[in-house]
Amino acid sequence: MSKRITVFMAFVALLGWVGPVVAHHSHAAEYDESKTVTLTGTVTKIDWTNPHARIYVDVAQPSGPAANWNVELQAVSVLVRQGWKRNSLKIGDVVTFQGIPARSGANAANARMVTAADGRKMLSGPVDEK
């Protein structure tokens, strides 16, 4: 009976290790690094969670209603090291974000830089210095 319990516990431990590895997505598969996008809009939602924080931004369209963009940021721990705080942005703030768009064509991007209306620049990822 002891051997069965040992094997079962080893199996459970293995699942605990493999799960997070499988769950993480491929950045290159999701975003098109050959393109960039710069958009300005109003923050509608903030998810200060891991594995990546996100802001949702309503961006005005030439015709029709605003498009809500899902803007992926870095992990919360990385943002904190860069000086971000949970309240660095608030719902209703106007921001400009630069980043790389989703390959799927969805209103989604991985932010590299977020600039608040007051000019504060908040780094989220590597910035191309071309």
Neighbours of 77 (CB within 10 A): 10
Give domain status of residue 11, yes or no. Answer: no
> What percent of the chain clears pLDDT 70, i.e. is strictly above it?
78
Three-state SS annotation for 42-79? EEEEEECCCCCCEEEEEECCCCCCCEEEEEECCCHHHH
State how many domains the chain has: 1
Give domain status of residue 69, yes or no. Answer: yes
Range of the domain at 57: 26-123
- Compute the distance between CA of residue 71 and CA of residue 89 in angstroms, rounded to an integer: 13
Q: How far is CA 108 from the centre of its chain?
A: 9
Q: Look at residue 25 in the predicted model and tell me its pLDDT.
A: 56
Give domain status of residue 130, yes or no. Answer: no
pLDDT per residue as tens digits for the range 93-117? 999 999 999 999 999 999 999 999 8
pLDDT per residue as tens digits for the range 9-38? 666 565 555 444 445 556 677 899 999 999
Q: What is the mean pLDDT of the chain?
A: 84
The answer to whether 118 and 93 are in contact (CB under 8 A) is: no
Give domain status of residue 18, yes or no. Answer: no
